Each structure stands twice: as C-alpha cells, then as structure tokens.
Chain A
Amino acid sequence: MGLTAEELDIVRLSLKISFWSVVSSLPFAIATAYLLDRAEFRGKSLVDALVHLPLVLPPVVVGYALLLAFGKQGPAGAFLEEIFGITFSFRWTGAALAAAVMGFPLMVRAIRLSFESIDRGLEAAAKTLGAGPIWLFFSVTLPLALPGVLTGVLLSFARGLGEFGATITFVSNIPGETRTIPLAIYGYTQVPGGDLMALRLSVVAVLLSLVALMASEWSVRRARRRVRGHDAGG
C-alpha cells in the first residue's frame, strides 16, 4: 500500500515534531535525572513530583497550561518570542514542545535509573586518575548511562508520535503545521467516508511504533554490551 502525498506529509511532520521534541528536551532530561539521582537539595521531592506530573495529569490540562504559559500572551511565550524569536502558538514548534513535556517524565525516569545503576567505584577510580567533575561526567558517567539515555530517547520519541490531547489543546489541528498522525486519524473519524484514511494512518502508526520499539531494544542491547565491557560485535 503506497501512501498518498498528503499521508506522507502527515507522517513526515509527525516524525519531525517527535525528533525535535526529543533533541531539545534531552539535555534537560539528562540534567534533571542527574540532579535527582546525585544532588541533595531542598524541594527535591517537589521537583520530582513536577517532573512526573504530565504522566498523571489529563493531557488536556497540560496543553492548556502550555497555552497559558507559552501562548502569544503567556509570560514565557512572549519572552521567548521577543528574545529568541521562537513562536510556539499554532506552530509545529508548539507541537514539539507539547510532545517534549509529555515525554519528559519517561525520559527522566529511564535516564535516572541508568545513573542509579552505575558502579560508583568506577567513578572513584577515574577521579584518582585525575578526572575533574565535568570530565568525569562526560567520560565516565554519561557513557555508562548510555543504555538508559537510549531507552529514554526512544520511549519519548514513540510517546511523541502518539501525542494527542496536549497538542490539540495547545496548538490546535492545523494541516501541514500541527496535524500529526493522531490528530489526522481523529479528524478522519469525524468526517463521513474518512474511515479508510483513518485505518491506513492507524496501520502506519502501529508500524512506526513497532520500528521505534524494536530499534530501541536493539540499540539498548548493544549499548549494554558496550558498557559492560564486552568486545565489539554481537
């Protein structure tokens, strides 16, 4: 079954939005996971709860909150537009932001688990060899957390492909701009004769998710072998 030009555009837009949501949130997720694992500070449990909030809140509420904060009139939205020229409202960038926020807890959890499982003795050894805090992080801690980082990236990517509620609330359903696969499927089910289109896109969604999960499994296995110190291959 070949995809029509319109369907291809929808798929491409979905992939683009998911991709940028992951790329832009990854550094923040790594920093947050590291702080939650290693640092002791006041309000740590509050930060932990805030990070996990999108996991339990109705997505519509998250979308509405984004609209209030990052919309044209919102404080953060106005600031970012003025200083960096980034606009979120009713743009694909807004869809990426919504996907990033919704996927953030998944990413942080996976990465944090990886940080927790690192043998601290290895870090101690690297310190005695002269590694300062920053170099230690980039040469030992982060590489050893790679399996968790990959898991987090792919989970968040797959989650982004499926993002619906927060996206439609925050940036609406604009063809070519914010109309991702789930939004398009929803749209087709709402019009007479759209069933076949909805079905075709659903199959695409299933396939994409499968590929993402299998890629995740494969790359995580490879990364795990690596951080356990096995020779290349396998």
Chain B
Amino acid sequence: MLEVEIALDHAGFKLDVRFTCGQGVSVLFGRSGAGKSTVLSCIAGLSRPDRGRIIVEDRVLFDSARSIEVPVHRRKIGYVFQDARLLPHLTVRQNLLYGYRLAEASERRIDLDVVVDLLDIAPLLGRRPAGLSGGERQRVAIGRALLSSPRLLLMDEPLAALDMGRRAQILRYIERLRDELHVPIVYVSHAIEEVARLADSLVLLDHGKVIASGAAGSILSQPKLRQYVGGEEAGALLEAKVSAHDEVYGLTTLTFAGGSLLASEVDALIGESVRVRIRARDVSLALSPPQDVSILNVLAGQVCSIQPEPGGAMDVSIAIGATVIYARITRLSTERLQLVAGKTVYALVKAVSLDRSSTGLA
C-alpha cells in the first residue's frame, strides 16, 4: 500500500499530486513532462518534495510536517531505471548480489536462483555489463532490484530504451514477477500498450497534477479522459477470458462481457484472464452485418455517443452488452450512416489488430 501526497516547485516545474496505490501494478501514466519520473524519484528519496507525505506499507518515509525523511538507502524501495544503471566495474552476478548482501538476512525474501530462473539470466552471470544487450541489461537491473527485497518496486519506463521485440520480451518478465512474486510495482509509462498489459490501477498525470486515478479499465474507458490517453492509441480496454485456441489458424477465442472475439494467437492458457486493447482506429462500423468480408469479428451493439476527436475524425462509442468499445471514423461516414445515439450498428474488428502488443495476462 502506497500513499503519496506531495508538492514541489523546482525551477518553474510544479508538481502537486495525491494518490494511493494498492497491490499489483499501478501505472503512473501521462505525457513526458507530466511529472511521472519526479514522483518516482520522490518516493525513492532521490528527490525531495517541498512538502507532503509518502507512506509505504504503513511506514512513513517522508513527512514534511513531522520532519521525517528516511534516507534513500534505508527506504527498501527497488528502482529500475530507464537506462539500467548496472555498476560497470562489477560482473552481472556481483551486480545482482549488490543489494542482496546489503539487506539484512531476515529481510531477504527472494534468492539468487529464483531471480536467475525467473529472468533467464543464468548465462550472463559471469559477464560484465558493457557486453550485454539493452534487454539483457534491463533484465539484470530488474533482478538486482528484486534481490534487494524491496517493499515496493519502482520502474521508470524500463522499456523506453529497447526496440519493439525486446519490449515484448521484458513485458513478459514483468508480468511474471507481478504474478509470481507479488511485489507491488509502481510503473511509469507513456505507452498505452504497457498500461493495457500491466496495469491493475492507473494514475493519470498531466502537468504535475493527478487527472484521475483508479482501476485501469474504468479510467481508460472514460471518454473525458481519453484525450490524455493519446490520439492514435486511444481505445477500449477489455477484460476477457481465453475460451479456445485454434492452432491450425493461429487464433484465440476471447470471451468478454457482451460477446466474444477472435484474436491473433494469445499466449495464455484456456480459462486465463487477459486484457485486450481495441484501438478506436482499428474498428469500423456497418449498419448491417456485412457478407464476404475478411473481418472475423462482427459485434452488434448500440451507439452510445458520437464525439469529435481533436484530429478531425469522430469517436463513436458502442455498447456491446456490458462493454463499451470505440470506433474512430470520419465525419463523412457518420453522416452517411446517419449515426445517432441508440442506433444499432455492427462493429468490425480485424483479428490481426488484436495481437501480442494489445493483449496481456490480466
């Protein structure tokens, strides 16, 4: 449990935030410059807020009113930086054990073997950081933070310096530690696909202020918040269950409240919960179920609202049973189809648009 209530004013940059996070992964989300990294830095103690309080698991780390400021090295907060920051003069093994050895034996909750297994870094142990790829470095950095047995793990855009392939790989490892080690994580990101895959709760930041915070799915689907969630990437986040795999065609059937979807093969077992992100621009609308089309997902629903989006197109929200998804279409199309609230439409979603980067274990 994390409780943050801090304010600071550094050379014109003002930050004034208040939020709480529970178990699981909490994502601090917002554009760059929104103050996400500064918040992390204050939680870790690397920056000092002008005033406020920071409490982690009932332990007060900072309280300006009571003049409490626990020094960084006593906070027991793991920090995974964007740039890994492995100690260059030590081997991978020595890096991993750096924090482990500094933690009191009674406080250690995890051992080297477990971390090495979890992150697949056994072959790297004897090497030095400069010889590692970006993805390898980031895995070692995550392992090193875990081995210091932190009460809270902070991750500051750990994927930012990696290419797409590596990102997917590291995301899987982060999902693993969320699910297998149950370390509470505060994760900073400005990439919606990371939010979709990882977030249990979401804190939306903009210009140093909290715009909204709460369960990830509910925040992402609030229309008035979607401007913060990013133009091209805006869309809906669905909780779904894997109900079948079609290995011949490489497709997975996902059931959600309101219907089912076919998606490009999802790497999860039948019965497992996943999150699916359906980007508004990947959804087309039709007034009748189309024949002879390649699109596999045709979902019947009712138009809830039609709103212009800043780029000039229209965002149409469609209720499909208990679930709302969004379609981004041109103004011309809304007029031709004579869309109004309450009208029945068919949302068309390509299965291939629901791929690895838009689904993740829930």
Contact = CB atoms under 8 A, between A and B. Distances in A.
A68 interface: no
Interface stretch (A48-56, A87-95, A125-133, A160-168): A125-133
7 contacts: A127-B46, A128-B44, A128-B78, A130-B76, A136-B73, A229-B89, A231-B131
A128 B148 CA distance: 9
Interface of B: 44-46, 71-79, 81, 83, 85-89, 98-99, 102-103, 127-131, 144-145, 148
A122 B44 CA distance: 14
Contact of B103 (A122, A125, A130, A146): A130
B88 A122 contact: yes
A232 to B, nearest CB: 8
Contacts of A16: none
Closest 10 CB pairs of A and B: A229-B88, A129-B99, A229-B130, A130-B102, A125-B85, A229-B129, A128-B79, A127-B72, A230-B130, A143-B89
Interface string A113-152: 0000001011011111111100110011001101000000
Interface of A: 119, 121-122, 124-132, 135-136, 139-140, 143-144, 146, 226-232
Contact of B89 (A128, A132, A135, A226): A226
A20 to B, nearest CB: 28
B73 to A, nearest CB: 5
Contacts of B74: 130
A136 B144 CA distance: 16
A89 B74 CA distance: 50
B128 A126 contact: no
B74 to A, nearest CB: 8
Contact of A227 (B72, B89, B127, B131): B89
A124 B47 CA distance: 10
Nearest to B130: A229
Contact of B102 (A131, A143, A226, A228): A131
B246 to A, nearest CB: 46
A192 to B, nearest CB: 57
Given A129-B102, A132-B73, A140 B87 contact: yes
A130 B46 contact: no
A231 B88 contact: no
Contacts of A126: 87, 98
Contacts of A122: 85, 87-88
B76 A124 contact: no
